[in-house]
């Protein structure tokens, strides 16, 4: 049970009647953290870790540019949209996510930057 804006006496009274244990935020629900304040960069780190894990699992050496483009459009961007449908994502986090997607799209490896196929 999570409570806020209650005095301690009322808080303990409800806990004793209901028999619930008291939890601490943040917790995860449907893959996103439940927090009571504005979303910070550090709160979005699970999203970055999830994106990086997904990128590392794909066999980028066997994918064409068009295949990588499809993965970026339909998989990676949908993960970001899912979070953005619940929170206002910090602009620094959006830039980090776009950097990961751009690096994967152009080089096929999320760790390499600057390998653009156009002059």
* pLDDT reported for residue 118: 58
pLDDT one-digit tens code per residue, 17-65? 887 777 776 777 787 777 777 778 888 888 888 888 888 887 767 788 8
Burial class (CB in 10 A: 0-12, 13-18, 19+), 74: exposed
Each domain of the chain, given as residue ranges in start order, spans 1-37, 39-119
**Is residue 110 over pLDDT 70?**
no
pLDDT one-digit tens code per residue, 65-93? 888 888 888 888 888 888 888 888 888 88
* pLDDT reported for residue 119: 53
Q: How far apart, in whole angstroms, are the C-alpha atoms of residue 68 and residue 49?
A: 19
Does pTM top 0.75 for this prediction? no
* pLDDT reported for residue 11: 77
Please provide residue 28's backbone torsions phi and psi, each rounded to the nearest 5 degrees.
-100, 140
């Amino acid at each position: 049970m999570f409570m806020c804006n209650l005095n301690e006496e009322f808080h303990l009274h409800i806990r004793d009647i209901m028999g619930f244990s008291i939890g601490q935020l943040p917790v995860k629900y449907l893959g996103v953290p439940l927090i009571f304040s504005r979303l910070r960069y550090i709160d979005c780190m699970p999203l970055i870790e999830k994106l990086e894990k997904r990128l590392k699992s794909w066999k980028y050496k066997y994918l064409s540019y068009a295949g990588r483009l499809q993965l970026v459009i339909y998989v990676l961007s949908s993960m970001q949209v899912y979070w953005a449908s619940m929170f206002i994502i910090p602009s620094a986090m959006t830039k980090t996510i776009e950097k990961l997607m751009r690096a994967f799209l152009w080089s096929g490896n999320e760790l390499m930057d600057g390998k653009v196929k156009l002059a």
